[in-house]
Structure 1
Amino acid sequence: MNTLVEVVLYTSKTLANGEHPLMLRLTKERKRKYISLHLSLSIQFWDVAKGRPRRNCPNREKINALIDQKIKEYEDQIIDYKTCDRDYTLQTLISKASNQTVRRTVGEYLDSYIDRLLAEKRVGNAKTFQELRTLLIRFCQSLDFYFVDVDAHWLQQLTQWMRSAGYSDNSIGIRFRSLRALYNRAIEDNVARRSNYPFDTFKVSQFREETAKRALTKEHIQQLVALDVRRLTQYPKPFLIMSKDLFMFSYLSCGINLTDILHIRYCDIFGDRLSFHRQKTGKLITFRLQPEAMQILHKYRKERYHPEDYIFPILKRTVHITPQQQYGRVQRVNKRVNRYLKMIGEYLHFPIPLTTYVARHSFATVLKRSGVSTSIISESLGHSSEKITQIYLDSFENSQIDEAMKNLL
C-alpha cells in the first residue's frame, strides 16, 4: 500500500503564542505518524485545502522550500524501499529518513573508504579509488568539499576537464562509475543525502563506448588446445607453457580471472569440485571442474604440500603474506602471461590479441553459441556487466552450470 506524505497545520495543539505547529503527516494502512517541522503558524496564514501557507504568510517562500525538502526526503526513502522490494513500517521510514548526515568532506570519506577496502584485503578495489582520489585532486586542487557540492553542474565541469586532458569516453565512464559508487556508499553511511544524489539526472551511461569483441570461437580454442607451444621458441620456456595452461584453465572454469586462479589453494579442491571466494567481491564460487581443468591442476600439484599452499607456483604462502604483496606479484605475472599469450595468438593467426581476459569472454560466447540459455550465462563479461553475470551464476543450481560447461570443448 502507498504511503501518503503531506504537511498539515496541527490545530489539535495550540502554542502559548496562539499559533499551531506545522507537522509532516505520514499515512500508511490507516495508520498515521506526525513529525514536527519545528515551525508554527497562525491558522489565518494556512491554506488547509492546498496544505501550503497562504500568499500573505510571512516567509512564505522559505516555508515552502522547507516543506518541499522534507516531503522529498521521505518520498525518496519510500522509492528506495520499493526499488529494493522491501516492506517497511512508518517507524522504520521515520528512523531511516530522519537520520542526520555526518559532516565529512569528500576527501575525508574517500580516505577512510580506501582504508576500509585495504583492511578487507580488497587491494584491487582500493587501487581504483586511489586513482579516483588522484584525479579529483588534479581537478579540484583540494578535496576539502562536501558531497552536496557534487551536483550535475559540477559533474559536467569534471567531464569537460577530463575531455580536455585527453581522457577517452571509456576512461571517463570508469572514473564516474567509481565516483557514483562512492556517493552511493556515502549515502549508506549517512555522509550524503539521497535527496542531493546527482546521478539520477547525470547519466554515467552516456560515456559507454562499444567494446571490441574479445571472444574466440570453439574452433580457435581447439587450435589452441592442439598447439605444442614449445615449438614457438628455440629454448624451453616454462612460463610460456604455464601461460597457455592458465588461459585454458580460466576458459574451462567459468571464466574465472587470473587473480582468482593464482589464489587457488589445495584446500579449495573437494574431489572434482572447486570452491573459493572471489578476491574482488568475496563471494563464494563453486562448480565442478572439467576433466581437462583437473589435468592442468594435477600438472602443477606438488607431492608434499600444506593445505593452504597455492597450487600454481606463482604465490608462496610464506613469502607473499600481505594483500599488497599478493596484488603486486599477480599484476607483474599478468603482464608477463599476456605477453606470451599474444605471441601464441599471433602464431595461430587469431583475429584478436590473446589475453587472459579473452578466456573470460570466450567462455560466455562459446556457451551461448552452443545454445546455452542467456539466463545462465549473460550476454557479455565486460566490466559493466561482470556483477550481473556473477548474479546469474549464483542464482542457478550447480547442476545447471555443470551441465552447461560440457559444451566448452
Structure 2
Amino acid sequence: MKNVSIKLKFRRSVNPEKEGSLIYQLIYERKVCRITSKYKIFNHEWDEATGQILFSSLDSSRDSQLGMIRFNVDWELHQLCKIVDTLALSGQEWTFSDLTSHFNSFIDKDSSVFHFIQMQIQRKKQLGKVRSSETYQATLNSFMSFRCGVDLTFDMIDSELMELYEAELQNRGLTRNTSSFYLRILRTNYKLAVEKGLTQDCHPFKRVYCGIDKTVKRSLSFAKIKQIKELDLSLTPSLDFARDMFLFSFCTRGMSFVDMAYLKKKDLKNGYLTYRRKKTGQLLTVEWTRQMQDIIDKYPINPTQYLLPLILREDGSERRQYQNQMMKINRHLKDIASLIKLPVSLSLYYSRHSWATIARGKDIPLSVISEALGHDSEITTQIYLDSIKSVEVDKANRKILKDL
C-alpha cells in the first residue's frame, strides 16, 4: 500500500438533528478519491481529533448500533487496504475507478465468516441475550486467533479446516467439552449461513466432536454444607459474604448466581420468591424460608431495586458488577474450602449439584428434583421440571433445610 493513504472521514450534516455520512478517503499520487459509505452517524458521535466514532454511556441501544457501524466500517477499510495491495502487486497501472469497481463488487460482506458471526453477536445483544452474545464473542475470538486474523468466506470452511481447528484447541490444553462448545457455535452459524443461501452445506463438522461428555458431578455432603454454615468468619467479612451467597444458592434449590444477582425486591411476595431463569426463561417459585431471611437480615437494605447486596449501582454497569462479584465470591470460596480441608476447588456451582445429590439421598422422588444434573439432554430435564408442582418442590426443600 505504498504511497496510498486511506482514512475514515466524516461529512457533517448542516442540520445537527440529521445524520452525516462516513466516508473513505484515499490519496494516491496526489489525487484524492472519496467513497461514501452507507453508514451515517450524528455530528456529536464523531471525534474529529481522533477520526473515530464516539460512544454514549447514556444510551446502550444506540451504543450497540454504533458498535455495529464501527465494526462494519473497520471491515470495509480493511478490504480497501487488501484491494490496494492486490492492485499494487499486479504490477499493472490502476486507477481509482478500478479500485472502486473492485470494492463495490466485494462490499457484500455476508459471506465473510468473521463479519457474519459479529452481526449475530450484535443481534443477540439487541435481543437482550447478553450471555449468549458473550459465548459467541468468545468463539469468534478463538477462531480469529486460529486464523491469525485472516477472514474467510463460508464456502472456504471444510472438514479439513475444522479438524485443524479442533486440533489447535486441543493443543491449547482445552478439554473436549470446551472445544466441542466452540465447534457447536461455529456449526450453528454455518447452518444459518446455509439457510441464507450464502453457501452449500458441505458438512464440514462431520469429522469433529460436537457432543457433550459426561462430567464428574461437583457436590458436597450435607455434613460439609453444615460445616461451612457453622464456620466463624466474623473476622473476615469477605469470606463471610461469600459463604452467605453460597448458602443462599443452596437454600433456593441451587439457584444460579446470575439469577441471584438479578433478583428484585418485588420478586419476594407473600412468602414466596418468584423469578424467571436467565438461562431458560422458565418461571420458578420458591418458598421463602427462615434460612433465606437470616441471610438477608445480615446486610443493609440494598439501595437499588435488587434484593441481594450484589448489584449496588444502577448506572449501566450492572452486568459487570455481577461478573466481578461472581469472580470474587468464587475466589473466597476456595479459601473457605481450605479452612475445612475440602479436597475440591469450591465454587458457587457446587451448591446446585449438592442440593440435587442431597435430595436424592433423602429419597425425594426423581420427578420432584427433576434429576436436573443427571440428564444428558436439557430438553428432558425441562420436561421433568414442567411436570412438577411447586408445592411438592417446596416440601422437598423444607425436608432438606430443616436440619440446616
TM-score, normalising length: structure 2: 0.63
Deviations 1:303-342 (A, max 9, x none): xx77x611222213xx3433xx222212221121122212
Equivalent residues of 1:393, 1:401 under 8 A apart: no
Equivalent residues of 2:367, 2:388 under 8 A apart: no
SS in 2 for 1:204: coil
Equivalent residues of 2:219, 2:351 under 8 A apart: yes
Match in the other structure for 1:314 = 310
What CA distance in whole angstroms lies between the structure 2 residues aligned with 1:372 and 1:194?
51
Equivalent residues of 2:334, 2:346 under 8 A apart: yes
Match in the other structure for 1:145 = 153
- In the alignment, is residue 354 of structure 1 matched against residue 342 of structure 2? no
SS in 2 for 1:354: coil
Would the alpha carbon gap of residues 388 and 253 (structure 1) be closer, same or farther in structure 2, given more than 3 Å must change?
Answer: farther
What CA distance in whole angstroms lies between the structure 2 residues aligned with 1:191 and 1:281?
30
SS in 2 for 1:313: coil
> What letter matches 1:107 in structure 2?
F
C-alpha displacement of 1:194: 9.0
What CA distance in whole angstroms lies between the structure 1 residues aligned with 2:115 and 2:365?
46
% identical equivalent positions: 27
Match in the other structure for 1:204 = 210
Match in the other structure for 1:175 = 182
1:371 to 342, 350, 363: 363
Would the alpha carbon gap of residues 168 and 182 (structure 1) be closer, same or farther in structure 2, given more than 3 Å must change?
Answer: same
C-alpha displacement of 1:348: 1.7
What CA distance in whole angstroms lies between the structure 1 residues aligned with 2:191 and 2:362?
39
SS in 1 for 2:366: coil
Equivalent residues of 1:104, 1:191 under 8 A apart: no
What CA distance in whole angstroms lies between the structure 1 residues aligned with 2:375 and 2:315?
28
Deviations 1:33-66 (A, max 9, x none): xxxxxxxxxxxxxxxxxxxxxxxxxxxxxxxxxx
Equivalent residues of 1:136, 1:143 under 8 A apart: no
What CA distance in whole angstroms lies between the structure 2 residues aligned with 1:265 and 1:300?
16
What CA distance in whole angstroms lies between the structure 1 residues aligned with 2:158 and 2:310?
45
Equivalent residues of 1:122, 1:280 under 8 A apart: no
Deviations 1:246-283 (A, max 9, x none): 10110111211212111111011122211222333443
1:130 to 126, 130, 137: 137
What CA distance in whole angstroms lies between the structure 2 residues aligned with 1:171 and 1:350?
26
What CA distance in whole angstroms lies between the structure 2 residues aligned with 1:295 and 1:387?
35
Match in the other structure for 2:71 = none
- In the alignment, is residue 216 of structure 1 matched against residue 215 of structure 2? no
C-alpha displacement of 1:184: 5.1
Aligned positions of 1:391-406 closer than 5 A: 392-406=384-398
> What letter matches 2:221 in structure 1?
T
Equivalent residues of 2:264, 2:307 under 8 A apart: yes
C-alpha displacement of 1:359: 0.7
What CA distance in whole angstroms lies between the structure 1 residues aligned with 2:191 and 2:130?
20
C-alpha displacement of 1:111: 0.8
Stretches of structure 2 lacking an aligned partner (at least 5 in a row)? 1-108
160-169 or 376-385: bigger deviation: 376-385
What CA distance in whole angstroms lies between the structure 2 residues aligned with 1:119 and 1:193?
26
What CA distance in whole angstroms lies between the structure 1 residues aligned with 2:183 and 2:364?
34
What CA distance in whole angstroms lies between the structure 1 residues aligned with 2:354 and 2:226?
12
Equivalent residues of 2:166, 2:208 under 8 A apart: no
Would the alpha carbon gap of residues 183 and 253 (structure 1) be closer, same or farther in structure 2, given more than 3 Å must change?
Answer: farther
SS in 2 for 1:408: helix
Deviations 1:50-102 (A, max 9, x none): xxxxxxxxxxxxxxxxxxxxxxxxxxxxxxxxxxxxxxxxxxxxxxxxxxxx9
What CA distance in whole angstroms lies between the structure 2 residues aligned with 1:387 and 1:381?
12
What CA distance in whole angstroms lies between the structure 2 residues aligned with 1:134 and 1:392?
36
Question: Which of the two has higher C-alpha Rg?
Answer: 1
C-alpha displacement of 1:382: 8.9
What CA distance in whole angstroms lies between the structure 1 residues aligned with 2:200 and 2:369?
34
> What letter matches 2:210 in structure 1?
V
What CA distance in whole angstroms lies between the structure 2 residues aligned with 1:389 and 1:135?
30
> What letter matches 1:220 in structure 2?
K
Equivalent residues of 1:218, 1:366 under 8 A apart: yes
Equivalent residues of 2:370, 2:381 under 8 A apart: yes
Match in the other structure for 2:120 = 113
Would the alpha carbon gap of residues 327 and 387 (structure 1) be closer, same or farther in structure 2, given more than 3 Å must change?
Answer: farther
C-alpha displacement of 1:203: 3.8
Tell me: higher relative CO, structure 1 or 2? Use CA pairs within 8 A at least 6 residues apart: 1
SS in 1 for 2:285: strand
Length, aligned pairs only:
292
What CA distance in whole angstroms lies between the structure 1 residues aligned with 2:279 and 2:349?
15
